[in-house]
């Protein structure tokens, strides 16, 4: 039997160890927001009070996995193999590619081809956003335009295969893949019972949950004519996603002319319709991503009509004369903070 002294000393040691354990737990503060370069852009995830190293690693690992499946800027991705086999054979791909391509074809159909995932040959020709950016000759553009037709994509969801019917065709899912990636991050957060987070994949913002106290998130909408971080206004949302497509994201200036990266599938040149940017607000980021490019390409009238027909998507339109328009469901949530801009109606 332990002596009274030994029992007292053991108790003191136990208290000291317990106190040190509590101190270490108390000092294990959440990690701040984490930023990594993936999906061709800077991606930031902020888990706030639940920011743990292992969860951040899981999230960025998932982003890299998606990038490896469908990036057009990396060699030997599944999308790369699909494009290389165009006109010859179907290629088996990961479920990620099937899901994203299925959504892309949906928006191609909705837009009558204004949004088209087979725009790859045209994107490569211009090279905007790469070291090979240039203004192609008209004959070069005319040569690749016949290759752009979403109806020539055979997607077999049961067999998980993709076939491009004609040689020279090429898929480019850059206008919708980040939205899918953001939704995947949200899925993992839900699985891990995370209550709130901000996911920013190069401007594709998903406001997961709500701020502490039930308040809305306040997200800035980029001024398309200003410096990075200069805002047109502030959008208040919770458990929603916001994606903007605009002329400021990637562009080429040649002989004093500015050429942006949103290309017309009709004439092969950057879309010109007086819009500087379109911001879409929806429940799913893949929809916001696909719709932001779709609506920009369609222009204000057709784009707004499409949003209103869907019933679960809202839009903010910024024009080159400094005016703004918005669908009814989002206007009251958006506050203009820049003196450059004003509501048109």
Residues 6+ apart with CB under 8 A from 52: 30, 31
Q: State residue 13's pLDDT score.
A: 39
Is the residue at 39 inside a domain? Answer: yes
Residue 25 pLDDT more than 70? no
Residues 6+ apart with CB under 8 A from 90: 154, 156, 159, 161, 162, 163
Determine contact, residues 120/83, Cβ cutoff 8 Å: yes
Is the residue at 136 inside a domain? Answer: yes
What are residue 45's phi and psi, to 5 degrees?
-125, 130
Determine contact, residues 161/132, Cβ cutoff 8 Å: no
Task: Report the C-alpha gap between 188 and 300 in whole angstroms.
Answer: 35
Please give the radius of gyration of the chain, using alpha carbons only, rounded to the nearest integer.
24
What are residue 294's phi and psi, to 5 degrees?
-60, -50
Mean pLDDT across 276-294: 97
Task: Report the C-alpha gap between 298 and 273 in whole angstroms.
Answer: 9
Q: State residue 21's pLDDT score.
A: 32
Is the residue at 6 inside a domain? Answer: no
CA 285 to chain centre: 7
**Number of separate domains in the chain:** 2
Determine contact, residues 237/204, Cβ cutoff 8 Å: no
Task: Report the C-alpha gap between 147 and 168 in whole angstroms.
Answer: 7
Angle at which helices 177-191 and 95-110 cross, to 10°: 130
Same domain, 82 and 160: yes
The domain in which residue 244 lies consists of: 34-65+178-343
Same domain, 261 and 222: yes
Same domain, 47 and 188: yes
Residue with tokens 């004439």: 267
Determine contact, residues 337/234, Cβ cutoff 8 Å: yes
Same domain, 196 and 306: yes
Is the residue at 25 inside a domain? Answer: no
Q: What is the CATH number of the domain that holds 61?
A: 3.10.520.10
The residue from 164, 188, 210 where one domain ends is: 164
Is the residue at 85 inside a domain? Answer: yes
Query: 3-state DSSP call for residue 243?
Result: strand
Closest CA to 304 of 324, 286, 284: 324
Query: 3-state DSSP call for residue 104?
Result: helix
Q: State residue 260's pLDDT score.
A: 94
Q: How many CB atoms lie within 10 A of CB 188?
A: 14
Is the residue at 187 inside a domain? Answer: yes
Same domain, 95 and 148: yes
pLDDT-derived band at 29, boundaries 50, 70, 90? low
Residues 127-180 pLDDT 10s: 998 889 999 999 999 999 999 999 999 999 999 999 999 999 999 999 999 999
Q: What is the CATH number of the domain that holds 116?
A: 1.10.3980.10
Residue 244 pLDDT more than 50? yes
Residue 22 pLDDT more than 80? no
User: Percent of the chain having pLDDT more than 90?
Assistant: 81
CA distances to 41, 42, 44 from 60, rounded to whole Å, are: 13, 11, 9
Same domain, 120 and 243: no
The residue from 132, 164, 196 where one domain ends is: 164
Q: State residue 32's pLDDT score.
A: 84
Same domain, 231 and 331: yes
User: Percent of the chain having pLDDT more than 70?
Assistant: 91
Angle at which helices 53-70 and 95-110 cross, to 10°: 60
Task: Report the C-alpha gap between 288 and 331 in whole angstroms.
Answer: 17
Evaluate the CA torsion angle 327, 332, 338, 342 in order and state its sign: positive
Is the residue at 1 inside a domain? Answer: no
In this prediction the pTM is: 0.89
Residues 73-102 pLDDT 10s: 777 899 999 999 999 999 999 999 999 999
Closest CA to 201 of 53, 22, 12, 62: 62
Is the residue at 290 inside a domain? Answer: yes
pLDDT-derived band at 292, boundaries 50, 70, 90? very high
Q: State residue 2's pLDDT score.
A: 42
Token output for 7 = 């029992």
């Amino acid at each position: 039997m332990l002596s009274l002294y030994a029992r007292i000393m053991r108790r003191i040691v136990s208290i000291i160890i317990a106190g040190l354990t509590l101190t270490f737990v108390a000092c294990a503060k959440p990690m701040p927001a984490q930023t990594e370069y993936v999906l061709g852009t800077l991606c930031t995830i902020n888990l706030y009070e639940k920011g743990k190293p292992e969860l951040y690693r899981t999230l960025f690992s998932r982003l890299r996995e998606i990038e490896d499946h469908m990036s057009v800027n990396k060699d030997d991705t599944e999308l790369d193999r699909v494009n290389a086999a165009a006109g010859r054979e179907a290629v088996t791909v990961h479920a990620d590619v099937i899901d994203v391509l299925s959504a892309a074809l949906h928006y191609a159909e909705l837009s009558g081809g204004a949004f088209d995932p087979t725009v790859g040959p045209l994107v490569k020709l211009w090279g905007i956003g790469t070291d090979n950016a240039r203004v192609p000759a008209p004959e070069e553009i005319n040569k690749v335009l016949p290759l752009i037709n979403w109806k020539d994509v055979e997607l077999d969801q049961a067999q998980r295969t993709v076939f491009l019917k004609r040689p020279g065709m090429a898929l480019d899912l850059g206008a919708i893949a980040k939205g899918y990636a953001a939704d995947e991050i949200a899925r993992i957060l839900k699985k891990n019972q995370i209550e709130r987070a901000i996911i920013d994949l190069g401007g594709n913002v998903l406001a997961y949950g709500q701020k502490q106290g039930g308040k809305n998130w306040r997200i800035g909408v980029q001024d398309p004519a200003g410096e990075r971080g200069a805002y047109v206004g502030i959008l208040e949302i919770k458990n929603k996603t916001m994606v903007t497509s605009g002329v400021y994201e990637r562009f080429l200036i040649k002989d004093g002319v500015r050429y942006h990266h949103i290309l017309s599938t009709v004439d092969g040149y950057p879309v010109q319709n007086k819009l500087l940017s379109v911001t879409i607000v929806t429940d799913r980021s893949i929809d916001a991503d696909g719709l932001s490019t779709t609506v920009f390409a369609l222009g204000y009238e057709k784009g707004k009509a499409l949003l209103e027909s869907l019933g679960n998507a809202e839009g903010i339109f910024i024009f080159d004369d400094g005016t703004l328009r918005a669908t009814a469901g989002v206007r009251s949530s958006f506050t203009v903070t820049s003196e450059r801009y004003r509501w048109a109606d």
